[in-house]
Amino acid sequence: MKGYNVAIVGMGAVGREMVKILEKSSVPVSELALLVRKNDGAIVSFRGKDHLVKRVTPGVFQGVDLVLMAAGGDAAVALAPLARQEGAVVIDNSSAFRMDPEVPLVIPEVNPEAARQHKGLIANPNCSTTQMIVPLKPLHDLFKIKRIVVSTYQAVSGTGRKAIEELRQQAEFSLAGKEVEAKVYPHQIAFNILPHIDSFLENGYTKEEMKMVNETRKIFQDEEIQVSPTAARVPVFNCHSESINIETEKPLPDVAEIKEILAQAPGVEVVDDVQNNVYPLAVNCSGTDKVFVGRIRKDFTVPNGLNLWVVADNLRKGAALNAVQIAELLVGKGWL
């Protein structure tokens, strides 16, 4: 099989997770470049070889087949077009291009064919959108979801390594009776919940919440589907949790059949034995690849309603894993 020259841009929490996942993936990597915009000099191991993290310089993408963009939106806007001009296909994890009608927004378990239409750039959906849509896809196909009400409980790893350290330090200081300082978030995150992720918009929702609305409609190719989100940051190091309520147009079967449908869905694992206190937990899901679903029960307030509790590793399926899965899809189908 042909080997590919791959570059990963950004060595934060997501970028380093991409390296780990790419190492175990089916993508045949001939050469790997690890790139950052500012600080360089770090050493990262990949498939038994140490790689020097280098700074992005002119011409760095020449000869590169595939770029996994793990840097922020500003970096993506600046570097993705450059990489495309130099002949690479870019898979971007930022929000910069997600709603561009020319850019496919892809979850391989949900809409793999969309990747085939790429013009050198594919976008990764938002982490909270991804873990919501993976288990909802088979239900939407069978029963047509018309409304989603979702509340997210998002871990600090979604913000980055500085947020992880801030939670750790705040927890230590709080337990020691010391004064807590908030730098990453507008308020203390330790032992607290912030109903605030990203900036607020004129409609009272945050950018994070509206991403879930707009990205869901684009991925499902359904502008009529209604999505009502509330996104909260919780004092959890890793893994996002979501409480999801859906209403469908078609009648739903009994819960046992719904569990069977979800158990057969790609990328989904049903963890639901409430009589024995078994349901998805963030502490159990970190470092895993599946989207875990439990607390599956009918919503008795509407004719065709259903409640779900969904947990996934936001650094993996919500970001790095999904990007590498897209890369595997492109390679496997010959779409690169």
Question: Which is nearest to 243 in space by CA: 92, 109, 120, 131?
Answer: 131
Active-site positions read: 127, 240
Residue 9 β-bridge partners: 35, 69
Residue 227 β-bridge partners: 148
Query: What does the DSSP assignment read for 40-58?
Result: ---EEEETTEEEEEEE--T
CA–CA dist 3, 180 (Å, integer)? 50
Q: Give yes or no for a contact between 281 and 311, defined as CB atoms under 8 angstroms apart.
A: yes
Q: Give yes or no for a contact between 292 and 285, defined as CB atoms under 8 angstroms apart.
A: yes
CA–CA dist 15, 266 (Å, integer)? 25
CA dist 143 → 132, 147, 246, 265, 305 (Å): 16, 12, 11, 15, 11
